Amino acid sequence: MGLPKIEIIFKSLAASAIKRGERGTVALVLQDTIPLENPIVMYGVNEIPENLTNANKEQILLAFKGGVNPPRKVVAYIVAQGTEMDPVDYTEAMTYLETVLWDYLAVPGISDLDGDMIATWVKGLRDNKDMGVKAVLPNCDADHEGVINFATDDIKAGDRTYTAAEYCARIAGMAAGCPLTMSLTYQVLPEVDDVPHLTTEEFDAAIDAGKLVLMHDGEKVKIARGVNSLTTVTADKGEDWKKILIVDKMDLWKDDVKRTIADSYLGKRPNTYDNKMLLIAAIQAYNDEWELEGLLDGSSPDYNRVGIDLERQTAFLKGLGEPVDDMDEQEIKMANTKDKVFIATNLKFVDAMEDFVVSVDM
């Protein structure tokens, strides 16, 4: 008879996780004077509209450069150009972006004030609306895993010199095209000739402050370390949350599980213990496949296990007045939880190789 359908779906998603993770979607919010039908969805540079300004065409081209791979698509939303008396209004673009799927956002030429506003909005999308989205913003100390604080100005590429705000689309495209088996650390930007030269101490200070900066190693320009703007570590968000790669894995895992549950379980099956165990087995199969792909750490049998969330289920039953103090663990697991399903897993994500210590005996 084979595996239950839900488990097959999860296994298929897990097997394709690396491929899907390296071809994300970049969203751009662009200012233009030409009225256009929004949004502009492009799967390649040949689909860039001719009637856009040259500056906006360049931003789309920068996003499509990607990294190891180009992004799967670029979605551009056009807003009216602002003036000193009439600032740019991003409301319509933000409203649209809350209704579609995207991975990385850049807003070329954004002001510091508007950058802070977009950062607050992105934090809200992640924290309150459960959207796994990230924004690359210039010189924005957001202290959040959803905001990449790109902090290198004076970027020389051929006959052009870019500010951080003008180069965020390039970083967003590179992040969207980076495989889940690799980090952005030391990813090379071959078109860049030079950037400001910092000392080792200055690089360390910038990275510790949650800044993504570019460095010239004497031969080429590359990303110094693939970090986001998070600097405040808590019990809920540890050191791993500072890494762009780890957050990307978290987001893909969550999106896959959430979407598959919604499609195949939510409202479609009785909330029985047997059906809960089928779902748990399916998610466990998904985790097992991620281990095989090298995305999760399978070095210990205690990692990446899935089961009933005993703590939350006990608290829920207690709130219903059930005699949980007189029940054993299995009775609590099998108890009727009405329409609630409490599942827990202890994921252990694999990072990329970044810090090396090589000892040499002479």
pLDDT, tens digit, 9 for 90 and up, residues 260-276: 888 888 899 999 999 99
* Rounded Cα–Cα distance for residues 207 and 188 (Å): 17
Q: Torsions phi, psi of 300, nearest 5?
A: -130, 140
Query: Using an 8 Å Cβ cutoff, are 185 and 221 in contact?
Result: no
How many secondary structure helices (H) and strands (E) does the chain include? Answer: 11, 13
Beta bridge partners of 27: 75, 105
Instruction: Please check the confidence at residue 3 and state whether its pLDDT lies above 50.
Output: no
Same domain, 92 and 193: yes
Beta bridge partners of 223: 214
Q: Torsions phi, psi of 19, nearest 5?
A: -65, -45
Count of other CB atoms within 10 angstroms of residue 13: 20
Beta bridge partners of 345: 306
The domain spanning residue 189 has which CATH number?
3.40.50
pLDDT per position as a tens digit, 73-96: 999 999 998 766 678 999 999 999
* All residues at 6 or more sequence positions from 259 whose CB lies less than 8 Å from its CB, including other chains: none
| Angle (CA) 287 288 293, round 5° | 95
User: Is 156 inside a domain boundary?
Assistant: yes
Same domain, 142 and 183: yes
Total domains, the chain: 2
User: Is 148 inside a domain boundary?
Assistant: yes
Same domain, 162 and 103: yes
Same domain, 234 and 305: no
Q: Is 217 exposed, middle or buried (0-12, 13-18, 19+ CB in 10 A)?
A: exposed
Residue 342's SS3 state is coil
pLDDT per position as a tens digit, 212-264: 999 999 999 999 999 999 999 998 899 999 999 999 999 999 988 888 888 88
Residue 8: per-residue pLDDT = 54
Same domain, 186 and 272: no
Band (357; pLDDT cuts 50, 70, 90): confident
Same domain, 205 and 278: no
User: Is 361 inside a domain boundary?
Assistant: no
User: Is 4 inside a domain boundary?
Assistant: no
139-165: average pLDDT: 97
Query: Using an 8 Å Cβ cutoff, are 331 and 310 in contact?
Result: no
- CA-CA distances (angstroms) from residue 309 to 219, 303, 333, 337, 344? 52, 15, 8, 12, 5
Residue 34's SS3 state is coil
Domain that residue 308 falls in? 265-345
Residue 213: per-residue pLDDT = 98
Query: Using an 8 Å Cβ cutoff, are 180 and 17 in contact?
Result: yes
Instruction: State which of 212, 244, 276 marks the end of a domain.
Output: 244
Same domain, 162 and 55: yes
Same domain, 201 and 302: no
Among 79, 90, 95, 78, CA closest to 41: 78
Residue 1: per-residue pLDDT = 42
Same domain, 175 and 121: yes
Q: Sign (positive/negative) of CA torsion 252, 255, 258, 263?
A: negative
Same domain, 277 and 158: no
